[in-house]
Amino acid sequence: MPDRYLESLTCPLPEDISRLKGAGEISLALELIDKRLAQPLPKMLRTRLEAERTLLPQWAERYPFTHEQLLMEMRSRVPGFTDQELRQMLDDGLLDFIYVDGTRYYHEDLAASLLKSQPQLKKRSLNPDTAPSTLDAVIRRMMDHDVVFRYRLRASTHVRSWEPDTLYRVYMPVAARSMQQTPAEDVSSTLLLVGCDAEDAPQRTAYLEGSLRASPDFSLEYTVTQRPKYVDPMNESIRRVIYPQARPVCDEDLAEQPPHIVFTPYLKSLAAELRGGEADPVRAARRFYDYITENVTYSFMPPYLLMESGAEYCAVNLRGDCGIQALLFITLCRISGIPARWQSGLAAEPDSVGSHDWAEFYSERLGWLPVDCSFGGGGRRCGSALRKNFYFGNLDPWRMVANRVYYAPFAPEKKYPRVDPYDNQRGEIENDRRGLRTGEFRTRYEMLWHEETEAKE
């Protein structure tokens, strides 16, 4: 999607089109959009309608379940789950849905989302996962002494409906230089590795090319080294920059980034209410963190490309995934004059590797520090005060940082629009004719080996 489309999403839709969209009258809404586009329009409104014309048909793809189908899905995961329970969750605002032609449809990942966000439901499921978390042990080791973690990751990608005589261009995320991480080492691929972005690229990728003549599958491997530091930000006697190698503060760390980081009247009001008269940026940021971790329910989201304002969505609906929570934290900080920015890549634990997003904020007393509202909220849900406190100012070592700027370009630039214009965690693929869409390829990650050593002075 062109950049001008993304920037236009802050423009409201005309009321009649907005009402049809909300009612799920997709065909009628598209007809009205076409009629409006045939008329003279201000530039931004025209671009907004063009964007909506592209995005609106994609909503139904992400919301495939009727009420009955969702109930069957929940019963397949949680024995004895009842229709009354599902309806109560609807009343409690826990179910993400849209209307299409008068019928309510639910998000494709809603069942998994409910099991992740509702501990009591997880305990009743067929896979209660009662084994103790390894995170608490790692956190305690980090609190006792500085450690170095090294591990090797493999990203395996399968291309569906591949064309054997076509050259594919691939942009895979790879570990960048960040304040707690050194750049990827020993990078190798089963496709031709043309090269990697600069170590400090805002969104670092390994650029691959190949015809996939023999197989629709390829892989990328690299080694990651993490040197996280532990700090208690609320201990005001600590007055040293924790990560002196971090990128300096810049104007963008305090700026709006439409459509998802926008200083709306509601978010300005919320930031002022939460901060109160607190002048210290660390304590103010902690108030924002506590509000998000204690009030926002974790929920899988549709692609951010389909959302108009991630931060405000989170604040109004009090639900969101890791990235949506990070966007709200960043926005509240920036509104309050506290520099904040995006960081993302993978949560890479030995037995599970998946996409993940978090944030960073800045104070003169401590410099840049990471904040993970999603993991902090997970700690609260499972009753771990240790984790709840840890993820304000700290990260566990099981991370791979590829993206340090939200909504940044690739190098070399893609010829066709990206699947995800904001972030890059699963890769982007294109050929000479078009870019591959979501669902046309799948990337799976695994940790091949890992080691932990105590850091030397």
Residues 181 and 268 in one domain: no
Domain count, the chain: 4
Residues 338 and 370 in one domain: yes
Residues 385 and 262 in one domain: yes
Residues 378 and 288 in one domain: yes
* Amino acid occupying residue 97: F
Decide if 229 contacts 195 (C-beta within 8 A): no
Decide if 389 contacts 306 (C-beta within 8 A): no
Distance CA 332, CA 310 (A): 12
Residues 256 and 212 in one domain: no
Residues 293 and 422 in one domain: no
Residues 54 and 77 in one domain: no
Residues 305 and 371 in one domain: yes
233: in domain: no
Domain end marker among 35, 62, 89:
62
47: in domain: yes
Residues 16 and 36 in one domain: yes
Residues 390 and 369 in one domain: yes
457: in domain: no
H or E segment at 298? strand 297-298
43-55 vs 15-23: helix axis angle to the nearest 10? 10
234: in domain: no
Quick: pLDDT tens for 25-74: 989 999 999 999 999 999 999 999 999 998 888 887 888 899 999 999 99
Please report the DSSP string for 81-148 in residue order: --HHHHHHHHHTT---EEEETTEEEE-TTHHHHHHHH-HHHHHHSS----SPPSHHHHHHHHHHS-EE
pLDDT attached to residue 3: 67
CA distances from 309 to 29, 316, 328, 406 (A): 20, 11, 10, 14
CATH of the domain at 325: 3.10.620.30
241: in domain: no
User: For residue 81, how many other CB atoms are within 10 A of its CB?
Assistant: 20
232: in domain: no
242: in domain: no
Residues 384 and 409 in one domain: no
Tokens 């109004």: give the residue: 316
Please list, in sequence order, all residues whose beta carbon lies within 8 angstroms of the beta carbon of residue 135, skipping any fewer than 6 positions away.
387, 396
pLDDT attached to residue 438: 79
Dihedral sign computed on CA atoms, order 427, 428, 431, 432: negative
Please list, in sequence order, all residues whose beta carbon lies within 8 angstroms of the beta carbon of residue 265, skipping any fewer than 6 positions away.
none
Q: Which residues of the chain have pLDDT under 50?
A: none
Closest CA to 224 of 368, 346, 369: 346
> What number of CA atoms fall less than 13 Å from residue 271's CA on the CB side?
23
Tokens 């690739």: give the residue: 410
pLDDT attached to residue 278: 97
pLDDT attached to residue 122: 87
Residue 110 sits in which domain range? 67-124
User: For residue 333, how many other CB atoms are within 10 A of its CB?
Assistant: 27
pLDDT attached to residue 457: 59
448: in domain: yes
Residues 282 and 358 in one domain: yes
